[in-house]
Chain A
Amino acid sequence: MDTLLSLLNGFSVALAPSKLLFCLVGVFLGTAVGVLPGIGPALTVALLLPVTFKLDPAGSLIMFAGIYYGGMYGGSTTAILLNAPGESASLATALEGSKMAKAGRGGPALATSAIGSFVAGLIATIGLAFLAPWLVEVAVKFGPWDYFALMIVAFVTVSATFGDSPLRGLTSLFLGITLGLVGIDKLTGQARLTFGVPELLNGIEVTTLAVGLFAVGEAFYVASKRLREPEEIIPIKGSLWMSKEDWKRSWAPWLRGTAFGFPIGALPAGGAEVPTFLSYSTEKRLCKYPEEFGKGAIEGVAGPEAANNASAAGTLVPLLTLGLPTSATAAIMLAGFQQYGLNPGPLLFAEKPDLVWGLIASLFVANVLLVILNLPLIGLWVKLLAVPQPWLYAGILVFATMGTLAVNGSPVELMMLFAFGYLGYLMRRYDYPVAPMVVGLILGPMAEQQLRRALQISLGDPMILLENPISATLLGIAFIALVAPFVMNGLNKFKAAED
């Protein structure tokens, strides 16, 4: 009950007109910036940090939280409309979302992502308010072996994005993992596959690969077959709003996405990518219309988007309760706290309850503001698709290259974007799925690092993976998920033979 009282008290802080204004500015900026591919909430908060130096602490922290949530909303808009996933977390959203947008279902896609984000944000923020101290105890217990097992579970689920040929899917995945090797090995500081090019030492940027394969590759592909079978983009077909059917197909993915996103986001090395992949493949498996996946299934947007936003709230659990920054944005928000001499952690709850609970309450407020801000914008966004095709794709390329330039303005990075774009074109032409490649780039290095850390701690004994209950359970799940389809297949054949 104490928590509830504190939270109510927090609302009295967050709903003060001046704080409401900060929140509004934050969500507005966050949405605007999140829409730009490559420019995430972390960068925005970092750039605004000096500006807010003279503002009052509560106000500017509330604004940062608004930017954080807003950026998550904005990112999905670009992924759906332009097929340019600017953050790795919106990769899964782009898969189905962009297909829906081109088929005239951009309205429902954006709506399910906005409302899904709202629902997920709401539940996850409630989780943050009530479960944080308990959850964080569990979260810090997660060792490298447990993370490795979690990555393996995520890897197994990638096959959901393989399309109809396991060979081509696996090839794409392995090329992605190969790209993940490029750069400095985090554990020994040694360069791998850099061929003496200093720009490669930092590794391949996920957004460069994703934007190259998705947006640039698509532009090449559509242009190449423009004369034979011109692509038809239908801005709006049917209702701009979600139909009854859409609601029915969305609510469960929202909840399941939240269930993946919040706890994994709260893990210090959980991240936002793994829950979105898990959500995508779960939805594909559970969906009543699996044949729609790959052509624009609404579940494939609703689930990952909810997971994405819930993980953003999850990240705040270790940040507020322990002062652990576990994402780039959280690290910068921590710098924001410290600029006012505040150290997030158990003491802050005791010393500055107004500030902490005001911040948590403002997350609820930000969520409401975002859904109010975003729903009317959908009509406007969808009109973007009515822009004549040459200008639409020209604009997409401008935005894609701008995102790359803002983060890393070197010609080498642009050459990679070009090369990945052409590769994306070739892969589309010969029907290789592009998503597994990006997934491989994201998960490969994570899995490798965690496994090596685990073995470094155990001094090389691999049994550590099976001795710990969490990792053993997760590896068991991965194993079942891997063999179950074969067993089921065999059983079906057996049954068929019986008949």
Chain B
Amino acid sequence: MSQEPLAHRPDKPALLVGVLLLAVAAIVGHDASTQTITSNYGLGPTAMPYVICGGLVLLGLAHLFVAFREGLPKPEAADKSALLWIAAGLVGLIASIGLGGGFVLATTLIFACTARGFGRRAFLVDAAIGFVLGLIIFLVFAKLLTLILPSGPFEQLFL
């Protein structure tokens, strides 16, 4: 089996996925082994985790094997700044909700940052669009469905 493939270096992404799968398998297995409560009859809550753990180990090993063969498909270089802008938008959104900034601010951030990530250069205009969109959604939910989306100081003005 191992005559020709070892000539080139192992495929890093495949190696990494393989190791990660083994790590997930270890977590699942460990979690199952620490369960204290079992069922009186039939299968307990640990049977399924152990089956999955086994499956993940096999898949992890298969990835390690593949790493020394053809590896995973080789992707092209990614536009890092685009990814960072969208990620920044999502982080801003989470921060805004988590720290009580409210839904409208969150929407403003995610809209403007995503548009920037896709190459728009009019951050303030996009922020304004996001703001109006967020406000409309908030009001429709609050007034028509009586469902209050996360609200900060600004949203309180409308309640």
Contact = CB atoms under 8 A, between A and B. Distances in A.
A431 B52 contact: no
Given A178-B56, A187-B45, A192-B49, A219 B86 contact: yes
Nearest to A193: B31
Contact of A193 (B28, B41, B76, B90): B28
A167 B85 CA distance: 33
Contact of B44 (A44, A167, A188, A405): A188
A25 interface: no
Nearest to B98: A411
A197 interface: no
Nearest to B44: A188
Interface string B128-159: 01100110010001000111011000000000
Contact of B126 (A174, A192, A394): A394
B78 A397 contact: no
Given A397-B110, A398-B107, A429-B78, A456 B42 contact: yes
Interface in B44-91: 44-45, 47-49, 52, 55-56, 59, 62-63, 66, 72-73, 75-80, 82-83, 85-87, 89-91
A43 B145 CA distance: 9
A35 B45 CA distance: 37
Nearest to B91: A418
Interface string A410-435: 01001101100110010001110000
Contacts of A422: 87
A460 B42 contact: yes
A77 B28 CA distance: 37
Contact of A224 (B83, B103, B120, B129): B83
A177 interface: yes
Nearest to B118: A390
A448 B79 CA distance: 42
The interface residues of chain B, by DSSP majority, are classed as: helix
B62 A190 contact: no
A492 interface: no
Interface in A367-398: 389-391, 393-395, 397-398
Nearest to A418: B90
B83 A456 contact: no
Residue among A174, A216, A395 having the largest count of chain B Cβ atoms under 10 Å: A174
Interface in A154-199: 167-168, 170-171, 174-175, 177-178, 181, 185, 187-190, 192-193
A220 interface: yes
Nearest to A184: B45
A225 B59 contact: no
A347 interface: no
The interface residues of chain A, by DSSP majority, are classed as: helix
Contact of B115 (A391, A425, A454): A391
B24 interface: yes
Interface residues of B, number: 73
Given A190-B37, A193-B28, A406 B118 contact: no
Contacts of B87: 418, 422
Contacts of A395: 111, 133
B105 interface: no
A227 interface: yes
Contacts of B56: 174, 178
A452 interface: yes
A394 B39 CA distance: 48
Contacts of A15: none
Contacts of A187: 39, 45
13 contacts: A33-B145, A47-B145, A171-B17, A177-B52, A187-B39, A193-B31, A225-B76, A228-B77, A397-B86, A401-B93, A418-B90, A429-B75, A431-B73
Question: Nearest 4 CB-CB pairs, A to B?
Answer: A455-B42, A390-B118, A411-B98, A224-B78
Given A178-B28, A223-B117, 16 more contacts: A33-B145, A167-B59, A171-B63, A174-B59, A188-B38, A190-B45, A223-B83, A223-B86, A224-B82, A226-B79, A393-B115, A397-B86, A397-B89, A398-B133, A405-B149, A460-B43
Interface of B: 13, 17, 21, 24, 27-28, 31-32, 35-39, 41-45, 47-49, 52, 55-56, 59, 62-63, 66, 72-73, 75-80, 82-83, 85-87, 89-91, 93-94, 97-98, 103, 106-107, 110-112, 114-120, 126, 129-130, 133-134, 137, 141, 145-147, 149-150
